[in-house]
């Protein structure tokens, strides 16, 4: 039911979806990361039309970077895009910078929740679970980037917390398409251990069939 379902749009930020941002600086194929945009737009339109809860997440850190583990910062340095360093869109993955915000095509509508997270999973050190429980949410539809990291981390956290999850195959992307496919196959292993995988068209059809 719409009132028990939330659409999660994970990390569709300029730092990941603009070639001048973090992902581009780290050598990832941003064109691949932008492929889910049309599918997410369609899901957003449908969710909003049904007054479904929509939650956007943004990965990033405080300006003084005290909430970024040194090990994570070292990994970003090895990737060629050190968190907190200056880039064309501002300091990479730092809250308040232009690159940290959500891309123009998927900007949150008034009243939609934006969760800022310092880690890969959206439940880690955030109030996401509190927001979902308080709103009576039982079902999550996951979209965003990247399938193998932030989407999968959030999915695993959600499943451990008892949420029913659908990951939208064309609503997600990874820098490496092979990792995207592997992440989707992992969801379906062991009797769909991490929930369901569906296309955006299948999800929209399911939503439109609701009374």
Domain positions in the chain:
2-60+103-208
Specify the DSSP class assigned to residue 100.
G
Inform me whether the pLDDT recorded for 110 exceeds 80.
yes
Give the pairing type, strands 53-59 and 113-117: parallel
Inform me whether the pLDDT recorded for 132 exceeds 80.
yes
Cα-trace Rg, the chain: 16
Inform me whether the pLDDT recorded for 1 exceeds 80.
no
Pairwise CA distance, residues 98 & 174, whole Å: 22
Buried/exposed code over 148-185 (b: 16+ C-beta within 10 A; e: otherwise)? bbbbbbbbbbbbeeebebbbbbbbbbbbeeebbeebbe
Q: In terms of C-beta density within 10 A (0-12 exposed, 13-18 middle, 19 or more buried), how is residue 29 classed? A: middle
pLDDT confidence of residue 170: 98
Percent of the chain with pLDDT over 90: 97
Residue 25 — pLDDT band, cuts 50, 70, 90? very high
What separation, in Å, do the N-terminal and C-terminal C-alpha atoms of the chain show?
9
User: Phi and psi dihedrals of 103, rounded to 5?
Assistant: -60, 155
Q: What is the pLDDT of residues 165-210, one digit of tens each?
A: 999 999 999 999 999 999 999 999 999 999 999 999 999 999 998 6
Give the mean model confidence (pLDDT) for residues 82-99. 97
Q: What rounded mean pLDDT belongs to the chain?
A: 96
Inform me whether the pLDDT recorded for 10 exceeds 80.
yes
pLDDT confidence of residue 211: 63
pLDDT confidence of residue 3: 87
Number of CB atoms found within 10 A of residue 210's CB: 9
Residue with tokens 């719409």: 2
Residue 2 — pLDDT band, cuts 50, 70, 90? confident
The residues that bridge with 172 in the sheet, in sequence order, are 144
Pairwise CA distance, residues 6 & 141, whole Å: 6
Inform me whether the pLDDT recorded for 148 exceeds 70.
yes
Inform me whether the pLDDT recorded for 24 exceeds 90.
yes
Give the mean model confidence (pLDDT) for residues 88-108. 98
Name which CATH class applies to 2-60+103-208: alpha beta
- Catalytically active residues are 11, 117, 150
């Amino acid at each position: 039911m719409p009132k028990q379902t939330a659409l999660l749009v994970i990390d569709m930020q300029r730092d990941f979806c603009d070639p001048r941002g973090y992902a581009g600086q780290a050598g990832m194929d941003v064109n691949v990361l932008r492929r889910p945009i049309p599918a997410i737009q369609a899901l957003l339109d449908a969710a909003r039309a049904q007054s479904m809860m929509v939650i956007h997440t943004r990965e990033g850190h405080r300006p003084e970077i005290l909430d970024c583990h040194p090990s994570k910062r070292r990994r970003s340095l090895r990737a060629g895009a050190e968190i907190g360093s200056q880039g064309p869109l501002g300091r990479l993955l730092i809250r308040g910078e232009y690159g940290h915000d959500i891309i123009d095509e998927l900007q949150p509508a008034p009243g939609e929740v934006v969760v800022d997270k310092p880690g890969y999973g959206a439940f880690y050190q955030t109030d996401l679970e509190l927001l979902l429980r308080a709103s009576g949410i039982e079902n999550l539809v996951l979209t965003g980037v990247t399938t193998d990291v932030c989407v999968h981390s959030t999915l695993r956290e959600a499943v451990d917390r008892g949420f029913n999850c659908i990951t939208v195959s064309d609503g997600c992307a990874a820098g490496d398409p092979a990792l995207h496919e592997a992440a989707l196959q992992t969801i379906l292993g062991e009797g769909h251990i991490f929930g369901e995988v569906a296309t955006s068209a299948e999800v929209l059809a399911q939503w439109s069939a609701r009374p």
